[in-house]
Amino acid sequence: MIIIDGKKVSSTVKEQVKNETAELKAKGITPGLAVILVGDDPASRVYVNNKKKACEYVGFRSEEFALPATTSQKELLDLVEQLNEREDINGILCQLPLPEGLDDNAVIEAISPLKDVDAFHKQNVGRIMIGDYDFLPCTPAGIMEMLHAYDISVDGKNCVVIGRSNIVGKPMAMLLLHENGTVTICHSRTKNLKEITSQADILVAAVGKPKFVTADMVKDGAVVIDVGMDRDENGKLCGDVDFENVKDKCSYITPVPGGVGPMTIATLMKNTLKAAKLQNKIYD
């Protein structure tokens, strides 16, 4: 069993972004990322701080817009509009979920597709569907990056994704499909879940339930990717997979923390760099 080291793979990605950013800066272009945070959700604050640190490391300029939970929909949309207009801002990211009373979808749709570094805008989602895209959602793209780094081929494999969110589950299934995986998406209404998951060569768990995937749900020799970020009964950080009991059945497995998490932020850096290049008409 090999533990997939997300920190190590993400360092390689960030290093690459850092080098390319230095080349852009030599041409007088500094990629800029705007991060909008509404309210005071502690988990969101941690994510935003990590994103700022990553921006600093790779050489981006990052601007944070921390708004009170009482912010109105109009105020939020006005801010997005201003950021769309600014040439020194290449990527716009609004930390979700938003406080009650604000509409996540309206904000996603207001962000210019050219600056949508989360790849949540309908236009970008549609392009992922047909396989002609500029940006990929950070978590699924980060997972693909890890599979490539460990030379894990998706071609012809049975792939099972547990979870059908727009942020992870659905785009994850599309990316596996683009690499010729045979993909099944499972969710809360799926019957015979164990039967399906135990056929998977590659199993991706994105349900948000601590230790939901148990050893009897996993095929011997499977590759198990754990997207969960949960707390167990003792308040300790854990994933959607019961790591201790599942790990001995796998050929590869991602840990929590240190697996998928760092990859999400590394991919965001990659997307922001690409946005800066596209907006400055630099094509690789």
Does the pLDDT of residue 284 top 80, yes or no? no
DSSP element (H, E) containing 251: strand 250-253
Does the pLDDT of residue 44 top 90, yes or no? no
Domains of the chain: 28-112 (3.40.50.10860), 138-261 (3.40.50.720)
The tens digit of pLDDT for each residue in 213-235 reads 999 999 999 999 999 998 888 88
pLDDT > 70: what percent of the chain? 100
Does the pLDDT of residue 43 top 90, yes or no? no
Give the mean pLDDT of 165-176: 96
Q: Is the peptide bond before 255 cis (omega within 30 degrees of 0)?
A: no
At 47 the pLDDT is: 87
- Averaged confidence pLDDT in the chain: 96
Active site annotation includes 199:
no
Does the pLDDT of residue 166 top 90, yes or no? yes
At 127 the pLDDT is: 96
Which residue in the list 14, 115, 116, 118 is annotated as catalytic? 118
Does the pLDDT of residue 46 top 90, yes or no? no
How far apart, in whole angstroms, are the C-alpha atoms of residue 232 and residue 241?
A: 11
Active site annotation includes 115:
no
Does the pLDDT of residue 42 top 90, yes or no? no
At 128 the pLDDT is: 96
Active site annotation includes 191:
no
Helix, strand, or coil (residue 60): coil
Which residue in the list 95, 115, 249, 274 is annotated as catalytic? 95
**Can you list the alpha helix ranges (DSSP code H) found in 59-163?**
73-85, 104-110, 122-130, 138-149
At 135 the pLDDT is: 96
Give the mean pLDDT of 181-204: 98
Give the mean pLDDT of 68-80: 96
| Number of other residues whose CB lies within 10 A of the CB of residue 78 | 12
| Global confidence as pTM | 0.94
Q: Are 154 and 181 in contact (CB under 8 A)?
A: yes
At 41 the pLDDT is: 86
> How would you classify residue 220: left for phi > 0, otherwise alpha for psi between -120 and 50, otherwise beta?
beta
At 283 the pLDDT is: 84
Q: Are 256 and 4 in contact (CB under 8 A)?
A: no
Which residue in the list 51, 115, 170, 249 is annotated as catalytic? 51
CA 169-99-40 angle, 5° bins: 105
The tens digit of pLDDT for each residue in 131-151 reads 999 999 999 999 999 999 999
Both tokens of residue 226? 């754990």
How far apart, in whole angstroms, are the C-alpha atoms of residue 1 and residue 19?
A: 33
At 281 the pLDDT is: 93
At 2 the pLDDT is: 97
